[in-house]
């Protein structure tokens, strides 16, 4: 098929990035297979200029496949395609088209196709060679969504295997050199930069001094301030303008957009809300040139308008300074969006919306100090987000956990392992992380793997259509104040509801997918499907009421309902969305359910177990019925020997050997065995507590039986049990090899204190100084390897000296000790020559009587 080149001079006219098209074309002409990195400031026009430039340059080399351009958001993909088609003078869907979830405008003649990152990722998994595609341009890579990070790695791999394929990465921030090094072939990827912004944007602060951020998002006082600032500055700029100037207000979420719109209406404005929940028709209307005579507009938007959008007549931006970023709560087992101060890179992106068509102004409602302290870049989603979907996609690509794939940033190991466990529980991957046949089905369904599995299983129980409707609802961001999914489903079924069309379209698409994958089709059961699908998708969030509006989830976390929710009358809830609110967890979407239904769906979670505990020295047993970590019932039962031993084992694992109190004989033997291991190694074993408890079955069984039989822990003899760990080779010579006592010259047998388990040092013998007279060689123990350290004591047992060399002591320091002590203890011998005096533990008088 012949290809008529894009008129680049016309398309690039007036855009800051326009002159760079020749450098891009030249680079592709030299080597189309060499990846390319493009860096240009927000608003410079790279999203408009680069795709047709690439299409023209490749066509000159007879590479006539399609050029795919990714955008992180659906509204940006549609808007970018519409703008390029307008500048090209062609009908949208012919030479320039787009594909997003639920909507596609392309034809056989489409040369440039704008797509969302998620859509291209799924297309890539279905067609790893990207047949019929000559180039992929990944735009806005600096936003660091998980989908974009995965695309960069996977498409880079495709680029390495194909010599007729171009990969271009585009960023508005200074990540260009990092990306260049990531895309090394024979050399790092070339970087093309355009550092000139399109138009100047003046920065002004209209700060708010009160509390801005709360547990539920931005405070209403701050939102009122933002609305007032938008109203005031819009009036100011239009007062001095010959033509209407539109204002674009940036907020972190839909709730805040709705609240600011309400405040603006009170002030007398008719604001326009721009977010992902409004229809594409409404989005197009906002992003199109207003009709002649239309007065100044105030457009209140979430972050979807941050990048790759040209909103006509916008020369004023009001930036709240906040954004929503994903965060995972590993301890409580859920992830969610939290409201944080937006990065300076995001703030620059937002300000750039005011300078696309002329000089503009940005009003920052943050104070200057908070703005200066903002992070330079947004946190990459791969560090903080849920990785279950990414894990399945990596497994489908043949690189479980991303191993063997050159990624900009590897997934955090701990988070990846946790989320891979979720995939294994869904039977989506096997123990090695490889995708299963069921996982291959799930990856074809454009939802989270948990709801994908619920779609397949739920279709068998509740019918395809009923299940698809609930899964489509869960995939949306629609909510109602009561958190009741039944109420929400009834609302979106009404054609007048703003989200009806998108929900119905998604339901139809999911039903078509499920119909080809699910088994036998039962009668449709819409009522049971609501709670049933939630239970199948999120079994860990099934909940039982434990207080007023408070529920215990099957994962063990407590969560609360919004105040006044009618769901609070239900004993059991199937929760579909729960998020952190300060130190607590809030149930955002849920449905009441009959416990018998969930018992049938998830029999593996319903358990009846008998357990026992050692409490205050006594063992008691109970029969407990539970669902996950939710206790349904509990009653006392008779303690059997098996239950008693389990309770004893649990008590030892919880309290360790301290449970049995201080036992001198046990401690002494443990030290001797530890000394033998330290000096001789095997067949002796370490005597640290971790090792001893790990080998409990080799020596603690009699102890556990005694404990289970009711004998008090402190009266159980651990010494006898520990002797069973003596290696059989040394059963008869252990007392000679590692003696318990040492005989000194006086004839006394003195206990030897060996170092504690795991510690180095000599053995210690504490003995009266007079009992060591004449000892000319300091003894060594355990095959002459372990030195003995003498703690020499006064006749009253008080320390006088510490030495490992008695010869040196008696030849030196002894004289000083003698001069100080003989007056204090005159009844005991203190000879000038200790070598010739008899060693004794007696006084001089007793010694003369004995002799």
What is the full DSSP assignment across 52-66?
HHHHHHHHTTT--SE
Statement: residue 829 has pLDDT above 60? yes
Statement: residue 851 has pLDDT above 60? no
Closest by alpha carbon to 822, among 794, 792, 850? 794
**What is the bridge-based pairing of β-strands 749-751 and 741-743?**
antiparallel
CA 809, CA 814: separation in Å to the nearest integer? 6
Statement: residue 357 has pLDDT above 80? no
* pLDDT number for residue 303: 86
Statement: residue 648 has pLDDT above 90? no
Statement: residue 378 has pLDDT above 90? no
* pLDDT number for residue 331: 64
* pLDDT number for residue 451: 94
Q: What are phi and psi of 708, to 5 degrees?
A: -65, -30
User: Strand pairing partners for 166?
Assistant: 135
Show the tokens assigned to 119. 């859509």
Q: CA quadruple 598, 602, 603, 609: dihedral positive or negative?
A: negative
* Cα atoms in the 13 Å half-sphere on the side-chain side of 461: 22
Q: Give the confidence band of 809 by pLDDT, cuts at 50, 70, 90.
A: very high
Closest by alpha carbon to 497, among 525, 474, 478, 519? 478
* pLDDT number for residue 518: 67
Burial class (CB in 10 A: 0-12, 13-18, 19+), 537: buried
* pLDDT number for residue 498: 78
Q: Which residue has the tokens 């009003």?
A: 363
CA 490, CA 530: separation in Å to the nearest integer? 11
Closest by alpha carbon to 80, among 309, 314, 290? 309
194-208, 391-405, 760-774: least confidently modelled range? 194-208
CA 664, CA 86: separation in Å to the nearest integer? 90
327-336, 622-631, 736-745: least confidently modelled range? 327-336
Q: What are phi and psi of 311, to 5 degrees?
A: -100, 115
Task: Tell me what the mean pLDDT of segment 783-808 comes to.
Answer: 92
Q: How far is CA 648 from the centre of its chain?
A: 36
* pLDDT number for residue 125: 94
Task: Tell me what the mean pLDDT of segment 577-593 comes to.
Answer: 84
Q: Which residue has the tokens 């002409």?
A: 29
* pLDDT number for residue 821: 92
Task: Tell me what the mean pLDDT of segment 48-70 comes to.
Answer: 94
Q: Is 332:557 a contact under the CB 8 Å cutoff?
A: yes
Q: Give the confidence band of 332 by pLDDT, cuts at 50, 70, 90.
A: low
Burial class (CB in 10 A: 0-12, 13-18, 19+), 606: middle
Considering the chain, what percentage of its residues have pLDDT values greater than 90? 54
Give the alpha-carbon dihedral of 116, 121, 124, 130, to 10 degrees.
Answer: 30
Q: Is 609:622 a contact under the CB 8 Å cutoff?
A: no
546-555, 565-574, 633-642: least confidently modelled range? 633-642
Of residues 357 and 532, the one with the higher pLDDT is: 532
Give, in order, the Cα–Cα distances in Å from 309 to each of 103, 246, 301, 357, 665. Answer: 19, 14, 12, 11, 80
* pLDDT number for residue 13: 86
Show the tokens assigned to 656. 């360790």
279-283, 697-701, 773-777: least confidently modelled range? 279-283
Task: Tell me what the mean pLDDT of segment 497-501 comes to.
Answer: 82
Closest by alpha carbon to 694, among 657, 668, 736, 643? 657
CA 714, CA 718: separation in Å to the nearest integer? 9
277-291, 518-532, 834-848: least confidently modelled range? 518-532
* pLDDT number for residue 580: 75
Show the tokens assigned to 711. 């004998």
In 10 A of CB 160, how many CB atoms?
A: 15
User: Strand pairing partners for 329?
Assistant: 334
Statement: residue 849 has pLDDT above 70? no
Q: What are phi and psi of 773, to 5 degrees?
A: -55, 135
241-250, 414-423, 613-622: least confidently modelled range? 613-622
Task: Tell me what the mean pLDDT of segment 246-253 comes to.
Answer: 94
* pLDDT number for residue 272: 93
What is the full DSSP assignment across 200-243?
-EEEEE----S--EETTEE-HHHHHHHHHHHHHHHHHHHHT-SS
Cis peptide before 683 (omega within 30 of 0): yes
Tell how many helices (H) and how many strands (E) occur in the chain. 32, 32
Q: Angle between the 500-515 and 464-475 helix axes, to the nearest 10 degrees?
A: 130
Reduced to 3 states, what is the DSSP secondary structure of residue 143?
Answer: helix
Q: Is 734:684 a contact under the CB 8 Å cutoff?
A: no
Q: Is 649:696 a contact under the CB 8 Å cutoff?
A: yes
Q: Give the confidence band of 325 by pLDDT, cuts at 50, 70, 90.
A: confident
Q: Give the confidence band of 572 by pLDDT, cuts at 50, 70, 90.
A: very high
Output the average pLDDT for the chain: 89
* pLDDT number for residue 520: 59
Burial class (CB in 10 A: 0-12, 13-18, 19+), 747: exposed
Long-range contacts of the stretch 80-86 (C-beta < 8 A, 24+): 80/47, 80/48, 80/114, 80/308, 80/309, 81/105, 81/112, 81/113, 81/114, 82/284, 82/287, 83/48, 83/310, 84/11, 84/48, 84/51, 84/52, 84/112, 84/114
CA 470, CA 492: separation in Å to the nearest integer? 11
Q: Give the confidence band of 582 by pLDDT, cuts at 50, 70, 90.
A: low
Show the tokens assigned to 330. 């590993």
* Cα atoms in the 13 Å half-sphere on the side-chain side of 575: 29
Q: What are phi and psi of 113, to 5 degrees?
A: -125, 120
H/E element, 850: helix 844-850
Q: 147-191: per-residue pLDDT in tens?
A: 999 999 999 999 999 989 999 999 877 678 888 888 888 788 889
Rg (CA), the chain: 38
Rounded to a whole number, what is the distance in angstroms from the first to the last CA of the chain?
A: 124
Q: Give the confidence band of 522 by pLDDT, cuts at 50, 70, 90.
A: low
Q: Which residue has the tokens 């649990």?
A: 650
């Amino acid at each position: 098929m012949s290809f008529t080149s894009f008129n680049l001079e016309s398309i690039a006219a007036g855009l800051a990035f326009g002159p760079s098209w020749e450098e891009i074309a030249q680079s592709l002409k030299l080597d189309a297979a060499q990846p390319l990195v493009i860096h240009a400031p927000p608003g410079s026009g790279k999203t408009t200029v680069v795709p047709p430039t690439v299409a023209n340059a490749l066509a000159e080399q007879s590479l006539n496949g399609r050029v795919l351009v990714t955008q992180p958001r659906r509204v940006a993909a549609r808007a970018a395609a519409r703008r390029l088609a307008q500048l090209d003078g062609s009908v949208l869907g012919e030479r320039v088209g787009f594909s997003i979830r639920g909507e596609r405008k392309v034809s056989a003649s489409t040369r440039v196709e704008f797509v969302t990152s998620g859509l291209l990722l799924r297309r890539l998994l279905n067609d790893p060679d990207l047949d019929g595609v000559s180039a992929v341009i990944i735009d806005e890579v600096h936003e660091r969504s998980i989908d974009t990070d995965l695309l960069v790695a996977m498409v880079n791999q495709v680029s390495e295997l194909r010599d007729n394929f171009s990969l271009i990465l585009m960023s508005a921030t200074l990540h260009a050199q990092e990306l260049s090094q990531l895309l090394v072939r024979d050399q790092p990827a070339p970087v093309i930069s355009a550092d000139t912004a399109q138009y100047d944007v003046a920065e002004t602060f209209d700060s708010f001094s009160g509390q801005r951020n709360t547990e539920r998002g931005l405070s209403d006082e701050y939102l009122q301030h933002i609305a007032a600032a938008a109203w005031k500055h819009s009036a100011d700029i239009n007062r001095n303008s010959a033509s209407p100037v539109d204002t674009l207000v940036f907020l972190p979420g839909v709730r805040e957009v709705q609240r600011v719109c309400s405040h603006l209406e009170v002030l007398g404005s008719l604001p326009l809300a721009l977010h992902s929940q409004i229809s594409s028709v409404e989005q197009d209307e906002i992003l199109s040139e207003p009709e002649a005579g239309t007065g100044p507009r105030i457009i209140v938007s979430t972050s979807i308008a941050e990048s790759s959008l040209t909103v006509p007549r916008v020369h004023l931006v009001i930036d709240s300074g906040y954004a929503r970023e994903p965060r995972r709560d590993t301890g409580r087992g859920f992830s969610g969006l939290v409201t944080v101060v937006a990065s300076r890179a995001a703030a620059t992106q937002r300000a750039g919306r005011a300078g696309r068509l002329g000089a503009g102004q940005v009003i920052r409602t943050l104070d200057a100090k908070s703005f200066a302290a903002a992070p330079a870049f947004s946190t990459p989603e791969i560090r903080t987000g849920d990785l279950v979907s990414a894990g399945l996609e990596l497994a489908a690509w043949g690189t479980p956990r991303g191993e063997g794939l050159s990624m900009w940033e590897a997934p955090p190991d701990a988070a990846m392992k946790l989320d891979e466990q979720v995939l294994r529980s869904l039977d989506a991957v096997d123990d090695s992380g490889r995708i299963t046949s069921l996982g291959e089905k799930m990856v074809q369904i454009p939802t989270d793997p948990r709801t994908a599995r619920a779609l397949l299983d739920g279709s068998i129980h509740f019918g395809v259509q009923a299940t698809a409707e609930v899964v489509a609802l869960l995939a949306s961001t629609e909510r109602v104040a009561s958190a009741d999914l039944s109420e929400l489903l009834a609302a979106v079924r009404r054609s007048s509801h703003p989200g009806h069309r998108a929900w119905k379209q998604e339901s139809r698409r999911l039903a078509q997918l499920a119909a080809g994958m699910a088994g036998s089709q039962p009668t449709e059961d819409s009522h049971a499907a609501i709670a049933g699908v939630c239970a199948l998708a999120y079994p860990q969030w099934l909940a039982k009421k434990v207080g007023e509006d408070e529920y215990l989830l099957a994962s063990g976390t407590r969560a609360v309902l919004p105040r006044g929710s009618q769901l609070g009358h239900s004993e059991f809830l199937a929760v579909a969305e729960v998020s952190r609110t300060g130190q607590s967890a809030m149930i955002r979407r849920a449905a009441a359910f009959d416990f018998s239904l969930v018992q049938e769906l998830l029999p593996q979670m319903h358990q009846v177990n008998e357990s026992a505990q050692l409490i205050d020295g006594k063992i008691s047993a109970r029969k407990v019925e539970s669902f996950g970590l939710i206790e349904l019932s509990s009653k006392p039962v008779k303690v059997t020997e098996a239950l008693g031993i389990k309770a004893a084992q649990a008590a030892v694992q919880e309290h360790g050997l301290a449970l049995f109190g201080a036992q001198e004989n046990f401690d002494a033997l443990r030290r001797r065995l530890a000394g033998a291991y330290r000096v001789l190694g095997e067949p002796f074993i370490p005597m640290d507590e971790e090792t001893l408890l790990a080998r409990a079955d080799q020596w603690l069984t009699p102890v556990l039986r005694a404990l289970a039989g009711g004998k008090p822990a402190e009266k159980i003899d651990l010494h006898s049990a520990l002797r069973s760990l003596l290696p059989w080779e040394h059963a008869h010579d252990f007392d000679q090899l590692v003696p318990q006592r040492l005989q000194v010259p006086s004839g006394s047998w003195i206990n030897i204190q060996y170092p504690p388990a795991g510690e180095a040092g000599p053995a210690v013998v504490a003995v009266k100084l007079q009992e060591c007279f004449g000892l000319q060689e300091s003894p060594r123990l355990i095959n002459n390897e372990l030195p003995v350290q003498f703690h020499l004591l006064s006749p009253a047992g008080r320390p006088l000296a510490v030495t490992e060399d008695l010869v040196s002591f008696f030849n030196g320091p002894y004289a000083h000790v003698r001069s100080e002590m003989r007056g204090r203890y005159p009844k005991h011998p203190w000879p000038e020559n200790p070598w010739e005096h008899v060693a004794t533990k007696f006084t001089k008088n007793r010694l003369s009587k004995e002799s």
